[in-house]
A and B are shown apart, each in its own frame.
Chain A
Amino acid sequence: MNLIIKPPETFRGDFSMRNSDEAILRFPFPFPEDNYMYAVNMEPHVRGGPTAAYDAVFDLDEHYLGDMQDRALVLNDDPLRCQVLPHMADAEWDTLELLMENLAQDYPHLFSLTKNGDEWRWVNRPMNIDDTFNFGRADTLPYPPFEYITRQVQGDFTIQDQRDDNLFMDGGMVTSQADWSLNFDLGMAFHEWHGPVPVAHEIGVFDRALKYLLRLQYGKPVRRLNWTLTVNPRLDTSPENYPLWGPDKATVTPENVGTKMCLRVELQTLTRLPRSNAILFGIRGYLIRLEELVRVKKWGARLHRVIRDLHPEIAEYKGMPRYRQMIVDYLAPFDDGAVLNSGTAPEQSSL
């Protein structure tokens, strides 16, 4: 894949992060229809989809170095953003193997993995990493294996242990979350960590999703999209740091809403891990400012309709009430009311 990585931009402070035209066109827009409701919207995670964000097993983009720099800053301030319970040691190595093998295969110009028995050499060119270690021996790596590799891959990751017909969040690297806490959720069962989500429990979404995931098969990963809105392209919107980002909500005005307000989409992947039988949950986040998003005609019009007609409880849960009307007003001129095709593809090849 012909990926060109930008010098690191910032996701805090001056928020220098911008999306290039290519990055806009590859954005995984989440709304196939004009209205939105929770559903078990999972599908096989196979290569290829409505945009280029679906081409790799683990998608990297032009923001790679900026993302990884922001992760390092978060971990430096709060090491509890990466935690793995002791019984998940096999899942740590499973994750390292899966990510290294896929990155080396999908981006051979950026990464390489050479194996000589259990002595592995890992080269990450963008981050200037060249390490030789023994697979299975944590003392041969500078960090524990899960932390080591997830410091080098965009997106948050959690590992779910499967036991007692349930999934338990028994590890994770979570530095770019939409207002949830690994430190709080660590060790919780499936329905427990989903406790705060409104409406979905009542319509049985989590019961069905859990049954489906318990039977997730090795070699057949699945994916789904989730979304929310974030003020400024800030990766770390954690409960721990609410004092840093909460006040941003009060800075949105009708004049700056197009620049400040970002649609945040998570391309979530679920992969059965072999040795541990655990599930790796990848939460690959993408941020796009409204003024960038409306350059794709279909997306601007559709987002207008979705936000305008969104169920009030879901709008509340996604933290929208304060600026929902500003967003609708901003997007309205981009919606001529014409019928839109279902599906999420941009339907234009340039901006």
Chain B
Amino acid sequence: MIARIANILALSTSIKRIALVAADGAALPTAAAGAHVLLHIPGPRRVWKNAYSLVSAPDERSKYEIIVRRVENSRGGSAWLHDHAAIGQDIEISLPANLFPIARTAQKHLLLSAGIGITPFLAYLPVLQAGAENFEWHHCCKQADAPAFAALLPSGRDITLHTSRNTLDLEKLLGRQKLNTHLYVCGPAEFMDVAVATAQKLGWPAAKIHKESFGGATGGAPFTVKLAKSNIMVEVGPEESLLEALEAAGLNPPCLCRGGACGECELPVLEGVPEHHDHFLSAQKRAANSAIMTCVSRAKTILVLDF
């Protein structure tokens, strides 16, 4: 859908809060605590699809808000949002998707965030507060960023801002939680890895550890397929699936679920080594490299398909 940038607010020299409204003025689809949207950011040679957590409350349908930190050596996405995005500009966004939902059966929620990983929890907060849920939130950031994050964090006895590693004893914090506490971690990969490893070491069950991740991307390294029956070559770009590339070439390959489950889009492989990402093919068929599910799978070599 097409969104319009309605507001840009600098929270610090490297952090901006951006408000998006529907370009046609309509109500936006209801979002969720933990949901993200993909922004289609124009680049000089291609469009970047970057995922940003929504920080606006789920019931807010007049606007979506995101917080964007300028990434060092940005490949294009965050730099464009910081340097080129302007109020009134239109930008394509995806519908919200939620890979980081609040666990509804938890009796307590323990939130751990670092840096820009604060964002999904800003959307959690009104939901947890409205439901009078039991929660505890620890946010970590560099001393230099403290004023910006302190302004975002409401004060409360359940919420602590840490600007030094010494004030957050992960092992102690995770060790004193009662059964049926759920842990949510969001931040740089290193931070999440340490938090999750500590929880695992203390015997936390996997089902009670939740990590923010933007999965589901269909892209990957580009590759080439040769279609034996159609006798054409098709280049599959880094941001598209094999199925999409075949469709873009004017072909009408079989497909149904477009998610690697139904089996409809299976095509025979005559030569080459696929990189399987589907849930359909048997282990034998995978190992034999004799078939590929075009909607999700890619290739490690040039592929020749019987199509």
CB within 8 Å of B: which residues of A?
39-44, 87-88, 90, 94, 97, 118, 136, 161-165, 207-209, 211-212, 215, 217-220, 222, 274-277
Write 24 A-B pairs (CB below 8 A) sorted by A numbering.
A39-B263, A40-B261, A41-B262, A42-B256, A42-B262, A88-B104, A90-B104, A161-B105, A163-B104, A209-B261, A211-B260, A211-B279, A217-B97, A218-B32, A218-B95, A218-B96, A219-B29, A274-B30, A274-B31, A275-B32, A276-B101, A276-B104, A277-B34, A277-B101
Contact partners of B161 in chain A: CB under 8 A: none
Whether B256 and A43, one on each chain, are in contact in the complex, defined by CB atoms closer than 8 angstroms, is yes
New A-B contacts (10) at CB < 8 Å, excluding given A161-B105, A211-B261, A215-B216: A40-B263, A41-B256, A208-B262, A211-B260, A212-B262, A217-B97, A218-B32, A274-B31, A275-B59, A276-B32
Most buried by B among A43, A88, A218: A218
State the 4 A-B residue pairs at the shortest beta-carbon distance, nearest first.
Answer: A212-B261, A277-B101, A219-B95, A87-B104
* Residue-wise interface mask of B (71-105) relative to A, using a CB-CB cutoff of 8 A (1 in contact, 0 not): 00000000000000000000000011110010111
The interface residues of chain A lying within 8 Å CB-to-CB of B263 are 39-40, 208
Task: Give which listed residue, A94, A136, A209, A275, contacts B33 with CB less than 8 A.
Answer: A275
Residues of B within 8 A of A42 (CB): 256-257, 261-262
Interface residues of chain B: helix, strand, loop or mixed (majority)? loop
Q: Mark B270-300, 1 if CB is under 8 A from A, else 0.
A: 0000000001100000000000000000000
Contact B257 A218 (CB under 8 A): no
Chain B, Cβ-Cβ closest to A277: B101
Which residues of chain A come closer than 8 Å to B34, judged between CB atoms?
Answer: 277
Q: How far is the CA of A97 from the CA of B32 in the complex (A)?
A: 14
Are B32 and A163 touching (Cβ within 8 A)? no
Contact of B259 with A by CB under 8 A: yes
Q: Determine if B261 and A277 form an interchain contact, defined as CB atoms under 8 angstroms apart.
A: no
- Provide the bound-state CA to CA distance between A88 and B104, in Å: 7
- Quick one: which of A40, A90, A97 contacts B257, CB cutoff 8 A? A40
Q: How far is the CA of A222 from the CA of B96 in the complex (A)?
A: 17
Nearest chain B CB to A54 CB, angstrom units: 15
Partner of B105, one of A44, A87, A211: A87
* Interface contact B207-A164, CB-CB below 8 Å: yes
Instruction: Give the CA-CA distance A339 to B135 in the complex, in Å.
Output: 65
A332: shortest Cβ distance to chain B, in Å?
Answer: 33
Taking CB atoms, residues of chain A closer than 8 Å to B105 are 87, 161, 163
The complex places the Cα of A95 from the Cα of B256 at a distance, in Å, of 26
Q: Which residues of A contact B280 (CB under 8 A)?
A: 208
CB neighbours of A276 from chain B (8 A): 32, 101, 104
- How distant is A214 from chain B, measured CB to nearest CB, in Å? 10
Number of residue pairs spanning A and B whose beta carbons lie under 8 angstroms apart: 84
* A161: chain B residues within 8 A (beta carbon): 104-105
| A218 with B262: CB separation less than 8 A | no
Those of B26-60 within 8 Å (CB) of chain A: 29-35, 58-59
A211 to B263, CA, bound (A): 13
**In the complex with contacts A163-B207, A164-B207, A218-B104 CB distance below 8 A:** no
Interface size of B by CB at 8 A reads: 30
Q: In the complex the two chains form, is A274's CB within 8 Å of B32's CB?
A: yes
Task: Establish whether residues A218 and B261, one from each chain, have CB atoms under 8 Å apart when the complex forms.
Answer: no
Q: Which residues from chain B contact A43 at a C-beta distance below 8 Å?
A: 256-257
Q: Is the CB of A274 within 8 A of B104?
A: no
Minimum CB–CB distance for B100 against chain A, Å: 9
A118 to B104, CA, bound (A): 23
**CA distance in complex: A215, B260 (Å):** 10
Q: Report whether B257 and A274 are in contact in the complex, using a CB–CB cutoff of 8 Å.
A: no
- Nearest B residue (CB) for A135: B59
A211→B293 CA distance, assembly (Å): 15
A215-B216, A218-B97, A219-B95 known; A275-B58 Cβ under 8 A: yes
Residue of A nearest to B127 (CB): A275
**CA distance in complex: A207, B281 (Å):** 12
Interface pair B104/A208, CB less than 8 Å apart: no
How many Å lie between the Cα of A165 and that of B59 in the bound state? 26
Q: How far is the CB of B132 from chain A (nearest CB, A)?
A: 12
Residue of B nearest to A278 (CB): B104
B94-152 residues at the A interface, CB under 8 angstroms: 95-98, 101, 103-105, 127
State the CA gap A163–B210 with chains docked (Å): 11
CB B297 to nearest CB in A, in angstroms, measures 14
Q: How far, in angstroms, from A161 to B59 measured CA to CA in the complex?
A: 20
Q: CB distance B261 to A208 under 8 Å?
A: yes
- Residues from chain A with a CB closer than 8 A to the CB of B207 are 163-165
Is A212 a contact partner of B279 (Cβ separation < 8 A)? yes
A165 to B104, CA, bound (A): 14
Contact B31 A215 (CB under 8 A): no
Residues in A whose Cβ lies below 8 Å from that of B31 = 274
Give the distance in Å from the alpha carbon of A165 to the alpha carbon of B58 in the complex: 23
Task: With both chains docked as a complex, state the minimum distance between the C-beta of A143 and any C-beta of chain B, in angstroms.
Answer: 21
Q: How far is the CB of A16 from chain B (nearest CB, A)?
A: 39
B32/A277 in contact, CB under 8 A = yes
Q: Which residues of B contact A212 (CB under 8 A)?
A: 257, 259-262, 279
In angstroms, Cα B34 to Cα A162, docked, is 14
CA distance A118 to B77 in the complex (A): 36
CB-based contact A275/B261 at 8 Å: no
Write the chain A residue with the least CB distance to B104: A87
Whether the Cβ atoms of A274 and B96 lie closer than 8 Å is: yes
Minimum CB–CB distance for B29 against chain A, Å: 6
Question: What CA separation (Å) do A5 and B280 show in the bound complex?
Answer: 43
